[in-house]
Structure 1
């Protein structure tokens, strides 16, 4: 089953979120039926995005949980995962580093995630394992966060998930999602963070049981690390990967400084678009916090740009082809599918995530429900080539 992440909808309250689902799911199903998509051989997966306000509303408004469960059953849809990365507004105004606030040094982040876990335990069927909430990689590098405080909250969170398991029989996990410029953002940084956490945990076995990684193919495309490398390394160090998000980064291979002008429409002011530049003679890309910073550096160093590779954290729809000479990084999604094929006991939650729909150039936009259905169908057909899921 492939889920789609509902952070594509500009919804913050529970009423807005549910209205988006009621409007979107029939249209998505219509397209999947029209295309005779193999995705319809399983329930429709919904990767629910709930803001802190929406989560509070859903838990406190009388009868809303039961209404949601009934609606999911009527539409043969399942929530196996919740996106708990963005705490508040995610679509209006300047988001950028604010999406990392509050971070895991705060009670607000713990309380928010606790609500999401309780919602997930109440609305998701027993047979789906694991049930997972994705969250930020602790904090942002700019915040110089106190790791001891993060570890204390994450340790307590694992205790909470263990209690829910004892009460309900459901196995819940939280997937920390490495992102460029996050508190940890690459393969070995993730390993170091998890090992430090386990070394101070009161019950490290609960860390192993309930805490893992959410792997986003766009993020690691920007970091220049292949799926084989990251997924193999985490397996070797006993770090569970609980969720994989299929998404595309934006890529430009520079043949002349004039090529950079094609990136200007993507330097928008809502989201962070972390950018890496790999120069021809280097093995390690330079990482910039946002696309405008990378373009400013490139304009100061035109003599070294020929043959360089830019990768930008800008979720390009799966199956979409950006204007040449721009490319996408879909080959990393294919590499993940191959990894799944060769590791049949590896069963993370699978999700497509393209939240940048409202800031995409017009040439990359289509009807939002058609786009979502297309992404689900694209990945399901790839996965169905192999008998492993």
Structure 2
């Protein structure tokens, strides 16, 4: 889905395919037919954006050449591009945060591996950029790739931090080479996340300031921003003042428990405890934001219950509240959208709905495509409410 901002910028909206399980190319192509095309049909649009998550094995197959050489348009890559076109789908963004195995029975902290001190992370990201450069629509201005915020916070000794910083210099050079080879610009966006080396916009400024803004920037995940109790306006201002572009917005909502001491609230929260993903939980106190690394830790007396609401890193559907007395941070997401796109200029042009947790909801939906379509319709309504015009082919 595409929208036109009053300043003339084309704004792309899609959903992230990491909600679907696929570790090979056949699985990815099956997703397009089984989910993405039905989502487009639910919405009644002729073109749907999809932010692709491709596991490492799929990327290796599609690249067709080792790192450092020109992309060979393999038969597999041509096939994927044809499948997207045939089903009315387009991709301008990849989610390269998960490396592989994102739907294993237990993922938790493994999602942060390999980190940016590991050569494999750099190789994977540049390979993703090569693939995306070939899949971009001809009239798309640029592509984007979101990635992890350097690493999980521990262990992160100074030597690994320095290795990661050198990797970012090599990443910048590699992206410039890809643009020279293909004529397509790809930007990489680091996604602040609770518990990581970069978990807030202030830490993003500290760790990422001075990088080439034409190549590197921030992926702002609205769920993560809310979990850290960051004010959207202040966060966006901080990034702008530091010259860090918001390359990509992940439109997402956290779970909020207004009164975590209430027995009914704790029962409702307990239904979101599940073994696959990490659900960092935070509360805001007079001394600052306090947190634990997973929801069970919070429920096991790991967080105070008398200082205010808890917010849980559990990506909730944008359009629907969970079981009362819980609700979501949809208002914060609306604030982020207004801050980025409600002014005279568009400060972000790639928006990806990223509710990857549908399968681990207390009551998973019978119609996943219908649920994703409802989220995209919610986002569409917010964008048009800000004055953007939906475009049709």
Answer yes or no: is 1:8 the counterpart of 2:12.
no
Partner of residue 170, structure 1? 184
Which of 185, 190, 196 pairs up with 2:199?
185
Secondary structure at the residue paired with 1:285? Answer: strand
Partner of residue 367, structure 1? 367
Q: Contact (CA 8 Å) 1:257, 1:306: kept in 2 or not? A: no
Cα deviation, 1:271-304, whole Å, max 9, x if unaligned, reads 110000234xx26221111111112235xx7xx6
Secondary structure at the residue paired with 2:61? Answer: helix
Separation (CA, whole Å) in 1 of partners of 2:366 and 2:221 = 23
Q: Contact (CA 8 Å) 1:117, 1:133: kept in 2 or not? A: yes
Which of 30, 49, 52 pairs up with 1:19?
30
Which of 61, 72, 90 pairs up with 1:78?
90
Which of 289, 308, 312 pairs up with 1:285?
289
Partner of residue 67, structure 2? none
| Alignment of structure 1 residues 1-389 onto 2, 5 Å | 1=2, 2-33=13-44, 40=45, 43-60=47-64, 62-145=74-157, 146-195=160-209, 198=210, 207-254=212-259, 256-258=261-263, 259-279=265-285, 282=286, 284-298=288-302, 305-306=305-306, 308-339=308-339, 340-362=341-363, 365-388=365-388
Q: Contact (CA 8 Å) 1:253, 1:307: kept in 2 or not? A: no
* Closer/same/farther in 2, CA of residues 225 and 168 from structure 1, 3 Å limit: same
**Cα deviation, residue 62, structure 1:** 4.3
Which residues of structure 2 form unaligned runs of 5+? 3-12, 65-72
Separation (CA, whole Å) in 2 of partners of 1:127 and 1:284 = 46
**Cα deviation, residue 234, structure 1:** 0.5
The worse-fitting range, judged by mean Cα deviation, of 65-74 and 242-251 is 65-74
Separation (CA, whole Å) in 1 of partners of 2:176 and 2:74 = 27
**Cα deviation, residue 373, structure 1:** 0.9
**Cα deviation, residue 130, structure 1:** 3.0
**Cα deviation, residue 79, structure 1:** 0.6
Q: Contact (CA 8 Å) 2:260, 2:266: kept in 1 or not? A: no
Q: TM-score, normalised by structure 2?
A: 0.89
Q: Contact (CA 8 Å) 2:282, 2:289: kept in 1 or not? A: yes
**Cα deviation, residue 16, structure 1:** 0.9
**Cα deviation, residue 166, structure 1:** 1.8
Separation (CA, whole Å) in 1 of partners of 2:193 and 2:383 = 25
Q: TM-score, normalised by structure 1?
A: 0.90
Separation (CA, whole Å) in 1 of partners of 2:261 and 2:227 = 21
Secondary structure at the residue paired with 1:243? Answer: strand
Separation (CA, whole Å) in 2 of partners of 1:255 and 1:74 = 49
* Closer/same/farther in 2, CA of residues 359 and 251 from structure 1, 3 Å limit: same
**Cα deviation, residue 99, structure 1:** 0.2
Q: 4+ residue stretches of structure 1 with deviation over 4 A?
A: none
Secondary structure at the residue paired with 2:288? Answer: coil
Q: Contact (CA 8 Å) 1:137, 1:185: kept in 2 or not? A: yes
**Cα deviation, residue 14, structure 1:** 1.6
The aligned length equals 366
Q: Contact (CA 8 Å) 1:254, 1:307: kept in 2 or not? A: no
**Cα deviation, residue 314, structure 1:** 0.2
Separation (CA, whole Å) in 2 of partners of 1:29 and 1:211 = 31
* Closer/same/farther in 2, CA of residues 289 and 58 from structure 1, 3 Å limit: same
Separation (CA, whole Å) in 2 of partners of 1:251 and 1:219 = 12
